[in-house]
Amino acid sequence: MASSTGKKRRNAAQLAADGFAAMVQKMGMADAIRYVQLYHQGTGDYTRERHDWLDQLGHEQIASLMASAGKEGPGKAKRPRRGKPGR
């Protein structure tokens, strides 16, 4: 890797722009954008929002939701049987 000895330190915006330009050069624009989207933090405060809705529920309600999610969750839903009619 190249050393930054003797170079003026870049600010955050310059560093981000140079880093993205290097990714575009190496990966192409589409893949560089896809890579950045993987690490975009988004907006909002997950912890506060989680408390906003969970604090309204009691322990029994949470346990009931968890139990029903286990029964109806991914891969758990009952599917119609395939086979001979009348079975």
Q: Could you tell me if residue 19 is inside a domain?
A: yes
Q: Could you tell me if residue 17 is inside a domain?
A: yes
Q: What domain range includes position 18?
A: 10-41
Q: pTM score, two decimals?
A: 0.40
pLDDT in tens, 37-65: 888 777 888 889 888 888 888 889 888 88
Q: Could you tell me if residue 23 is inside a domain?
A: yes
Confidence of residue 21 (pLDDT cuts 50, 70, 90): very high
Q: Could you tell me if residue 84 is inside a domain?
A: no
pLDDT at 85 over 60: no
Q: Could you tell me if residue 33 is inside a domain?
A: yes
* Cα–Cα distance for residue pair 54/56, rounded to 1 Å: 5
Mean pLDDT, the chain, whole residue set: 80
Q: How far is CA 31 from CA 25, 39, 56, 62, 72, in A?
A: 10, 13, 42, 41, 36
Please tell me the total count of domains within the chain: 1
